[in-house]
């Protein structure tokens, strides 16, 4: 959503790797990803030279390389020089003030890319360790070590194991415990979205990993960990086992179970994976190009008309202007794809209109279809809001207000905004364009954000 903060990428990583600047754009990996993205856009029927898409290949390349920078980092570079001596830590037995006892850093907000479908997923990370050998590590380093492994193509359980093993070998504590609460967007295909608007938006999984004194699930140290974590929704009982996690995680795994594709779009995704430094032949990645292309094809520009006139529905008739009042249809579901970054966004659409009649159930379903029609294509939220308003005016008359509230995964995956940030846009026609009181009355009808 919106323009890219280009300066965000002009940063030097821990090991001296630099993203951004003129040199980055000429690097072979960047050029290869750009070329691949152009193939994907053309496969969707888009004009890669139109305004809004001309810089999309470079933006996608920057986002992907930023989001997988962990392949070029290592734990040693992070923790070296960040270990500090503390007395009384030889045995790992706690003392007053916590020295030698469990150290817990909780609620670290991170993101990673799902290796099965290349969509970003959110990670709420909790890390605990018990120091030993008169060594404690700077607390910020725990987050930075976790970030190394999240900035890779990942699976939740492997991510937890890699963070745990990285810290165990990097700081040599008595033990390390890692718990991850991962949330993968559950993006419906365009067909199922039209049939069922009450689609769940996230697949959640909780995984854990332990080493040293946390190596056994029944270790008393885990009791201390969860007691200090103080989260009722995360316990040993509701953490998924390593054997069931894989089957319940990525929604795309149940939709497409094929090997590598041979279409130009499949080949383009394979090129992207290779440009990120990964082997497309790795068993976890063999079906990824096909799954990503299948998902992306939901947004193919079909150039179809909605043919609203053919439905026989004109503007609502009113018995008398004096009987008209401001009415609303709230919380229509929205799914779409940011044309600047090829990352999904989702949310709710609220529609206000002036009429003496309530919208019929049939017309309400048509309004939802209007939202889906404009959503399932490459979009920016501002344009999407205006398009919905203009189309709805043909059904509900000229006095229309549309509010779109959406969460953008591009904001999360590229570190521009914190988790839970929400973008609101508004479009007004007719009376709502010149009557502040009418706008205010409608906005009061919209439920508060959770």
Task: Please report, to the nearest 10 degrees, the dihedral formed by the alpha carbons of residues 216, 217, 220, 224 taken in order.
Answer: 120
Query: At residue 4, does pLDDT exceed 50?
Result: no
Residues in the chain: 450
Specify the pLDDT at position 319: 45
Compute the average pLDDT of residues 141-154.
95
Q: What is the mean pLDDT of residues 336-353?
A: 94
Question: Does pLDDT of 133 surpass 80?
Answer: no
pLDDT tens digit string along 395-440? 898 999 999 999 988 876 665 545 667 899 999 999 999 999 999 9
pLDDT at residue 211 above 80? Answer: yes
Q: How confident is the model at residue 389 (pLDDT cuts 50, 70, 90)?
A: very high
Average pLDDT over residues 153-174: 94
pLDDT of residue 201: 78
Q: Residue 154: pLDDT above 50?
A: yes
Q: How confident is the model at residue 378 (pLDDT cuts 50, 70, 90)?
A: very high
pLDDT reading at 280 higher than 60: yes
Which of 184-198, 209-223, 339-353 shows the lowest per-residue confidence on average (mean pLDDT)? 184-198
Distance CA 417, CA 438 (A): 32
Give the model's pLDDT for residue 239: 75
3-state secondary structure the chain: CCCCCHHHHCEECCCCCEECHHHHHHCHHHHHHHHHHHHHHHHCCCCCCCCCCCCHHHHHHHHHHHHCHHHHCCHHHHHCCCEECCCCCCCCCCCHHHCCCCEEEEEEEEEEEECCCCCEEEEEEEEEEECECCEEECHHHHHHHHHHHHCCEECHHHHHHHHHHHHHHHHCCCEEEEEEEEEEECCCCHHHHHHCCCCCCEEEEEEEEEEECCCCCCCHHHHHHHHHHCCCCCCCCCCCCHHHHHHHCCHHHHHCCCCCCCCHHHHHHHHHHHHCCCCCCCCCCCCHHHHHHHHHHHHCCCCCCCCHHHHCCCCCCCCCHHHCEEEEEEEEEEEEEECCCCEEEEEEEEEEEEECCCCCHHHHHHHHHHHHHHHCCEECHHHHHHHHHHHHHHHHCCCEEEEEEEEEHHHHHCCCCCCCCCEEEEEEECHHHHCHHHHHHHHCCCCCCC
Task: Write down the pLDDT at residue 380.
Answer: 96
Q: Does residue 7 register a pLDDT over 50?
A: no
Query: Residue 449: pLDDT above 60?
Result: yes
**Average pLDDT of the chain?**
83
Q: Is 227 exposed, middle or buried (0-12, 13-18, 19+ CB in 10 A)?
A: exposed
Whether the predicted pLDDT of 97 surpasses 50 = no
**What average pLDDT does this structure show over 317-343?**
83
Q: Give pLDDT, residue 190.
A: 67
Confidence of residue 200 (pLDDT cuts 50, 70, 90): confident
């Amino acid at each position: 959503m919106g323009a890219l903060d280009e300066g965000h990428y002009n940063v030097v990583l821990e090991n001296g790797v630099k993203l951004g600047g003129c040199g980055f754009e000429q690097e072979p990996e960047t050029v290869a990803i750009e070329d691949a993205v152009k193939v994907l856009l053309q496969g969707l029927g888009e004009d890669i030279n139109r305004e809004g898409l001309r810089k999309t290949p470079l933006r996608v390349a920057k986002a992907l390389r930023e989001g997988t920078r962990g392949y070029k980092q290592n734990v040693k570079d992070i923790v070296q020089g960040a270990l500090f001596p503390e007395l009384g830590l030889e045995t790992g037995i706690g003392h007053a003030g916590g020295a030698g006892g469990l150290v817990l850093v909780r609620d670290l907000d991170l993101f990673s890319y799902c290796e099965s479908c290349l969509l970003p997923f959110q990670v709420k990370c909790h890390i605990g360790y018990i120091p030993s050998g008169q060594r404690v590590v700077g607390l910020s380093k725990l987050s930075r070590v976790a970030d190394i492994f999240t900035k890779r193509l990942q699976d939740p359980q492997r991510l937890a194991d890699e963070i745990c093993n990285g810290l165990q070998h990097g700081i040599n504590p008595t033990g390390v415990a890692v718990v991850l609460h991962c949330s993968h967007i559950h993006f419906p295909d365009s067909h199922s979205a039209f049939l069922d608007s009450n689609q769940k938006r996230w697949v959640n999984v909780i995984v854990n990993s332990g080493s040293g004194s946390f190596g056994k699930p029944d270790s008393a140290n885990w009791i201390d960990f969860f007691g200090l974590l103080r989260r009722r929704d995360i316990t040993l009982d509701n953490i998924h086992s390593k054997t069931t996690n894989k089957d319940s995680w990525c929604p795309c795994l149940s939709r497409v179970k094929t090997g590598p594709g041979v279409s130009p779009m499949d080949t383009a995704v394979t090129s992207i994976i290779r440009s990120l430094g990964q082997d497309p032949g790795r068993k976890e990645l063999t079906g990824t190009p096909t799954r990503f292309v299948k998902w992306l094809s939901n947004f193919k520009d079909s150039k179809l008309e909605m043919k609203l006139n053919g439905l026989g529905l004109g503007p609502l008739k009113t018995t008398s202007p004096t009987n008209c009042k401001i009415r609303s249809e709230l919380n229509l579901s929205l799914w779409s794809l940011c044309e600047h970054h090829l990352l999904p966004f989702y949310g709710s659409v609220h529609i206000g209109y002036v009429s003496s009649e309530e919208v019929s159930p049939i017309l309400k379903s048509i309004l939802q279809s209007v939202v889906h029609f404009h959503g399932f294509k490459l979009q920016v939220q501002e344009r999407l809001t205006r398009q919905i308003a203009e189309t709805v005016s043909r059904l509900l008359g000229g006095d229309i207000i549309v509010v779109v509230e959406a969460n953008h995964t591009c904001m999360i995956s590229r570190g521009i905004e914190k988790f839970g940030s929400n973008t609101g846009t508004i479009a007004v026609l007719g009376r709502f364009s010149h009557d502040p009181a009418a706008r205010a009355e409608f906005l009061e009808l919209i439920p508060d954000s959770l």
